[in-house]
Structure 1
């Protein structure tokens, strides 16, 4: 049966019969009006394309289902629907297995529900029940956790888009985030191969040095928080020591660049430095420029400072050098 060249998948006849019988619930069906009810059902099913009136086998299937309902006192689909509604996600972890458990129980009352020709449709019903529960759970989760849950449960993308009411761009972003997280985990695994066999605190230091966040170290490397804290403390101490050494080196370099204190400079060298400063002052009277040229000429900073802070004393020192 096709429409606009698209195939329409029809509900199996047995299930269509049960759906129609469920719609009869509450009606008083007696031996006197039973045949009238059968003909009414035949007309409804024929109208849906099942051609029951043209098949003796289909007519028998309808009559048997009606007899079973009258015998039990309720439609089979009512019991099946109730059983489905009582299942949890844990029960439906494997829809196929769940369908066998439920139909085994229903079969005590409804023998025909266990027929092999009903198996595929029943499994589909259980899969749909699981999907309904998954979507219900997903909609109750914060942020993207619901979408992630459905992706993890291998729900198809079109179904996620429809049931969660999200645009394609949103789903693409979540997929991209998941891919990035997987890549990050793979990076950790690759780095761990480099430090295989080493103590945990060394692994932590190595991973931190490669910009691996703490949560990934715990998750992927399976390293305890206490070991991570220990490694972090050791790294902080190392960093402090490195900073101390760097400060010492910088101070030493600065002292070397500034040269000796004024009282430590021999008079002959003092005379040379003063002469050099006078030459520089001849070319410029801008302090910044003078200081730069003095530094380039390796003139001790103490003498340069004196020339600006106390010019009179500088002149006096110059005279002392001249003898």
Structure 2
């Protein structure tokens, strides 16, 4: 690749074609053609190419002008037209897009098919791709544009410059993107663990692992209805477990409370009342009475009477034959 001394930004053939594009049709007539050659050589000399003093460079220039005369139009006109027709879909794979573009434009410009020119055209196509990506990004709301460029592999400094944002803004979005990527990696591992499970079981596994519904839908490839079905089933299971727990607690409380008054036999009634009286001789504090009665196995129904209507104990004892 031939580039100007002290630079590696643009090849000679492209610099020549850009200069040719600046000329008009009258500059290629028989009498003015040689003058145009000299003018272009001088212009390229000023850019550091030393064309007028290099036989090879002069030959490249004359060939380019000869091709321009033969085609009746400049190569860059066709090349720019082809580049302008590219879309993001076309340049998704820049190399394939470059091959297609060279084949298309090269039908009239065979020199463009030279292997030494392909890297240069590829670089141009990559620049077009970046321009298209930035244009799309600027049309997106919020941080979506910056995110699209990050996902597209655009360098941070390029994103900052082309999107007109601060480095702090970029770093904020990048931190969020990295957190999301980490979460996706975590979910991927969770799904790997549940690889043999059914779809509802995978959804359940992710829900219990505190994965967002949006990410579940994306990574399990299900719709919201499938997630809602699993959530509904889980809620029903939770409700049933709660019902059973409450039922068990009620049974336990009933067992701890002991029998109702009507279910206590006369002999047991007298025995419990005697225990209560002994306890009440020891303490008149309700809390202490209840604790000691519970420890002595006195039914709660009798304990409630002892602390609220102690005089009624005599009546109950009399009824029991005491």
Bin the TM-score by the shorter chain: 0.7 to 0.9
Displacement of 1:302: 0.8
2:171 to 168, 172, 186: 168
1:257 matched to which residue of 2?
256
| RMSD (CA atoms) | 3.4
Which ranges of structure 2 fall in alignment gaps of 5 or more residues? none
Matches of residues 31-50 of structure 1 in structure 2 within 5 Å? Answer: 31-50=30-49
Matches of 2:212 and 2:238, distance apart in 1: 18
Matches of 2:4 and 2:315, distance apart in 1: 114
Matches of 1:219 and 1:170, distance apart in 2: 21
1:11 aligns with 2:14: no
User: Per-residue displacement from partner, 1:270-312 (whole Å, max 9, x unpaired)?
Assistant: 3343343344444544434433443344322111211233343
Structure-1-length-normalised TM-score: 0.80
SS in 2 for 1:92: helix
CA contact (8 A) 2:27 2:33 kept: no
Q: Which moved more, 1:250-259 or 1:181-190?
A: 181-190
User: Per-residue displacement from partner, 1:203-233 (whole Å, max 9, x unpaired)?
Assistant: 5555545555555555444567666555544
1:241 matched to which residue of 2?
240
Displacement of 1:52: 1.1
Matches of 2:317 and 2:43, distance apart in 1: 123
Matches of 2:48 and 2:117, distance apart in 1: 19
SS in 1 for 2:194: helix
Structure-2-length-normalised TM-score: 0.81
SS in 2 for 1:260: coil
Matches of 1:226 and 1:173, distance apart in 2: 28
1:81 matched to which residue of 2?
80
Matches of residues 1-323 of structure 1 in structure 2 within 5 Å? Answer: 8-24=7-23, 30-164=29-163, 165=165, 166-193=169-196, 195=197, 199-206=198-205, 208-211=207-210, 214-222=213-221, 231-318=230-317, 323=322
CA contact (8 A) 2:147 2:173 kept: no
User: Per-residue displacement from partner, 1:139-161 (whole Å, max 9, x unpaired)?
Assistant: 33345444443344333444344
Matches of 2:258 and 2:4, distance apart in 1: 98
